[in-house]
Amino acid sequence: MPDNKTMCGRERDPVSIHTSKIYDACRAKDCIEDVRVYLTCESKAILAHAINVKPKSARIIWTYVDIEPVPFNDGFYTVDAKFFYHVEADAFCTVGHPVEIEGFASFDKRVILYGSEGRAKIYSSQMRPWTDDDRQLIPRTNLPKAVVEVVDPIVLSVKVVEEHDHFCGCGDAAVLGELPEYITNGFRSELDRGPGGRRLYVTMGKFSIIKLERDSQLCLPAEFAIPEKECPTTDDQDPCDLFAQFRFPVQEFFPPDNREEHSHCGGR
C-alpha cells in the first residue's frame, strides 16, 4: 500500500480533463417588487375574509432557460430565465390565529453574456433522442450552454389589493393556462384562474448566478471562481433599500472547502 506522502505529500503534474469551461458569468441581486401571486382556490377564499396578511416564505419551483445569439455581435448571447416560485403567507381572519395561504408567482430576467463562437457540432452517446420533447437542443449543438444557479428568495413584504382598486403590478402578465403539471401539482388545491376577488402581491429578494459554458479540454488547477461582474437589470424599478443590505450568499452556491480538516494524509 503506498504511503501517505506518496499519495498527498508531493505535487503531481497537471492532467488534461474534458469539462465545461465558463466563458462568461455574472451574479444577480434582484429586488422583485410587487409580483402578482396567483392563489389557489382555497387560499383565495381565505384571503377574502382576512383582516391582515404577513409574509412567510417562498421557494423556487423551476427555472426555464433559453439562449439566442445577439445579432451583429459575434460571440455574444442573450440568456432569458423565467423563474417559477411557490409563495406562502399567513392570513389572519381572527386575532392571533393565522391560516397559511399559498400561490404561484413568476419573474423574468434577461442578460447578455459572451459565449465565444462555436463552429463544430458535438455529438455523444448522451445525446437526447429524436423522440425527446426538448427538440430545440438537437439542431443547435454549436451554441454554448446557459446555466442558472439560484437559491430560494427572501420574502420582504406582501400587499393585498382590493378587487376594484387599480394597481399596476409587475407580475400580472402570467398565463396560468400554460403552466406544466409538474408546477401546478405542487399546490394543495387547484390554482384559481378567475379574474375577480382580492389580489395578493409580494416583494422578494433573489440571488442568482448566470453562466455560459462550452465543452473544452483543460489543464488547470481546481478552485472556486466567483463572478465579480453584476448582472445589469433591464427595468426601471427603484432599488429596495432593505434588500440592498444583504450580502451575496456565496456559501449557498459553493460548499466549504475543508480538505485540511478531513484529510487523512500526513503530507501537505
| pLDDT value at 9 more than 50 | no
Residues 86, 58 contacting (CB under 8 angstroms): yes
| Backbone torsions φ then ψ of 262, nearest 5 degrees | -105, 5
Note the pLDDT of residue 171.
55
Query: If you count them, how many residues does the chain have?
Result: 268
Mean pLDDT of 18-22: 85
> What is the percent of the chain where pLDDT is above 90?
43
Mean pLDDT of 120-139: 54
In a 3-state reduction of DSSP, which class is residue 127? coil
Summarize pLDDT for 24-55 with one digit per residue, the tens.
Answer: 999 999 999 999 999 999 999 999 999 999 99
233 against 20, higher pLDDT = 20
Grid cell for residue 263:
484529510
44 against 183, higher pLDDT = 44
Summarize pLDDT for 78-89 with one digit per residue, the tens.
Answer: 999 999 999 999
CA dihedral 210, 173, 163, 187 (to 10 degrees): -60
| pLDDT value at 73 more than 60 | yes
- What whole-number distance in Å separates Cα of residue 157 and Cα of residue 108? 19
DSSP assigned state of 131: T
Nearest to 171 by CA among 80, 87, 62, 239: 87
Query: What's the burial of 35, exposed, middle or buried (CB within 10 Å: 0-12/13-18/19+)?
Result: buried
The domains of the chain are located at 4-123+130-262
Note the pLDDT of residue 136.
47
Residues 76, 112 contacting (CB under 8 angstroms): yes
Nearest to 81 by CA among 39, 122, 26, 120: 26
Secondary element (H or E) of residue 259: helix 259-262
Summarize pLDDT for 206-250 with one digit per residue, the tens.
Answer: 999 999 998 888 776 666 677 888 876 655 545 577 677 677 888
Residues 155, 215 contacting (CB under 8 angstroms): no
